[in-house]
Amino acid sequence: MNTKRILIANRGEIATRIARACRELGYTSVGIWTDFEVNAKHLEFCDEWVFLPGKNNRETYLDIQKILKLAEDHRIDGIHPGYGFLSENGTFASACEEAGIVFIGPNPKAIKSMGDKATSKEIAKKAGVPVVPGSTQAIPTVEEAIKIAKQIGYPVLLKAVAGGGGRGMRRCDSDQDILKNFEAVGREALASFANAELLVEKYILNPHHIEVQILADKKGNVYHFFERECSIQRRHQKIIEEAPSPFVGEDEELRKRLCNTAVTLARAVGYDSAGTVEFVMGADRNFYFLEMNTRIQVEHPITEEITGVDLIVCMIQGAFGESLGIPSQEWIKRTGHAIECRICAEDPITMLPAPGKVTGFETNFPQGTRFDNCLYKGLQVTPDFDPMVGKLVAKGIIRDVALRKMRAALDGLFIEGLKTNIPLLKEILREEHFLSGHYNTNYIAEFKPQEKINTDFDHHRVYQVLATIEVRRFGR
């Protein structure tokens, strides 16, 4: 058997997830360790470890030449970048190609085209994909931004041309707001993405953030794996995702149009890997292209749960020119409902990062639960990385069952030593508007679940959890 060697240029739960996929394929997974994570959990799942020297992310996970040197020294066949870091860096993808190493992601041209929001909007428009009204090119001056805002009507969104993750975005309701925010958003974009250029877009009121999972191969096949609802957000960053979308609901004609539109865009850009086409959908159910994430998404597990397809395995197979084993779009079916909660080291009320050290970690989950995580006793969560430490996924035959399982799973997740957003997630999962599926991206601001959190420490509940865990471990 031709065993390929895969370097995982990432850390945390996604590195573990990739290592498991490599093991399933019979490939050798090579994990990275650094001076600031010598006991990283993902290394337990890798076949080999290599050291990446450096004092910070820029000198380690973001250093293209160092990573390529590791690949050369350790006879690497392919590099999987996971998400974040270099995953959407077209220069890195090109450098891998030039070095004769398979980049496990889309081709460099697709990354660069979709990574620039102005270019991606232009491609979408030419393909007949509806886009949010606004500028298709970077706006050079504040005066030009105000002119466009008046043409399309307030409110508008000042938005970085490059990047994502909720950074470099600000709503403006007047000329004065643009005057106040234009330079500030530009500075934030420059600091986050090394590109200060901005777009002006119409701000869709009461929007739903709905995305479609795409998977394509090197043979010209493009498939969709249905949609996900990602409207529960704070600071434009997702914390709860569902598949399928409760807002799309039983409207199969809308679902078909949405998913086929995503496929059309993927074909237009010559896409050839896993990716996500993101849309904003108004209360009138009209939808508009936002952006395309040219990588695997954090929330991919809920799509895997409702379709039964391992997206990471397919992504690796496709990168090496192998068959995905998918005979047709019609072969891909969805069953049940899946929900993901992002478990983050942050204050549940302010929703700001709360670094710290994990002093204890126990779980007691119901059947139908999946927990992709990087937790272990002694883990030091620092400001150097995203505060997410795990992704809790629950699947049920219908949404109500998935919700019930998720509530039970959150009750059975005990993390000591860290402040986490678990109390916030619990509050949302019992709030009536969320339970009914009637929510949009303004949910946190409108219903303020963080203000309803009981901050009293429930010793009784903790003892119940610990007792249950002991019974599960040792019997009665």
Q: Could you confirm whether 5 is annotated as catalytic?
A: no
Same domain? For 180 and 239 the reply is no
DSSP H helices, 398-449, are 399-411, 422-428, 432-436, 443-447
The answer to whether position 126 is within a domain reads no
Range of the domain at 150: 133-202
Residue 57 is part of a domain; what is its CATH number?
3.40.50.20
Look at residues 59, 84, 104 and tell me which one is the last residue of a structural domain.
Answer: 104
Which residues are registered as beta bridge partners of 419? none
Query: Is residue 177 situated within a structural domain?
Result: yes
Tokens read off for 407: 């509530």
Of the residues 144, 172, 202, the one at which a domain ends:
202
Q: d(Cα 71, Cα 28) in Å, to the nearest integer?
A: 13
Q: What pLDDT score does 117 carry?
A: 82
Q: 282 with 429, same domain? A: yes
Backbone angles phi, psi at 79, to 5 degrees: -120, 125
Same domain, 194 and 221: no
What does the alpha-carbon distance between residue 359 and residue 87 come to, in Å, rounded to a whole number? Answer: 32
> What is the three-class DSSP state of 471?
helix
For residue 86, what pLDDT is reported? 97
- What CATH number does residue 442 fall under? 3.30.470.20
Together in a domain, 24 and 77: yes
Does 449 reside within a domain? Answer: yes
End of a domain among 63, 89, 104? Answer: 104
> Phi, psi (5° rounding) for residue 201?
-125, 150
Single out the catalytic residue among 11, 17, 170, 295.
Answer: 295
* Per-residue confidence in pLDDT tens, the chain, 476 aa: 568 999 999 999 999 999 999 999 999 999 999 998 888 999 999 999 999 999 999 999 999 999 999 999 999 999 999 999 999 999 999 999 999 999 999 999 999 999 988 899 899 999 999 998 998 789 999 999 999 999 999 999 999 988 666 778 899 999 999 999 999 999 998 888 888 999 999 998 889 999 999 999 999 999 999 999 999 999 889 999 999 999 999 999 999 999 999 999 999 999 999 999 999 999 999 999 999 999 999 999 999 999 999 999 999 999 999 999 999 999 999 999 999 999 999 999 999 999 999 999 999 999 999 999 999 999 999 998 999 999 999 999 999 999 999 999 999 999 999 999 999 999 999 999 999 999 999 999 999 999 999 866 554 455 555 555 555 555 55
Strand, coil or helix: 437: coil
Paired with 279 in beta bridges are 210, 289
Q: Residue 316's pLDDT is what?
A: 98
One domain, residues 198 and 333: no
- The per-residue b/e assignment along 137-171, b for 16 or more CB within 10 angstroms, e otherwise, is ebbeebeebbebbeeeeeebbbbbbbbbbebbbbe
